[in-house]
Amino acid sequence: MNAQHRMVIEADNGAEVLFVCPHEGCGRRLVLKRSGGLVVLDRGDFFALHSGGRGVEVWADIAS
């Protein structure tokens, strides 16, 4: 079974949200655009299942 990592918000400018994975040795970082789409900055642990969100907004399996 693949590891599951919960990503956290590091920055939010209203148009884009920067998510980072706090798990030691992972380093996954991505920018989620509120208008749609995302950009993976650092892939991190490719085999881990990543999820994250804010309040009632949850993005499961973020850019696996």
User: For 1-49, how does the pLDDT look when each residue is reduced to its tens digit (9 = 90+)?
Assistant: 689 999 999 999 999 999 999 999 999 999 999 899 999 999 999 999 9
DSSP strand pairing (38-42 vs 49-54):
unpaired
What pLDDT was estimated at residue 2? 82
What pLDDT was estimated at residue 61? 53
Q: Which two tokens stand for residue 61?
A: 């399996």
Distance CA 29, CA 11 (A): 11
Contact 59, 14 (CB under 8 A): no
What pLDDT was estimated at residue 40? 95
Residue 12, H or E segment: strand 4-12
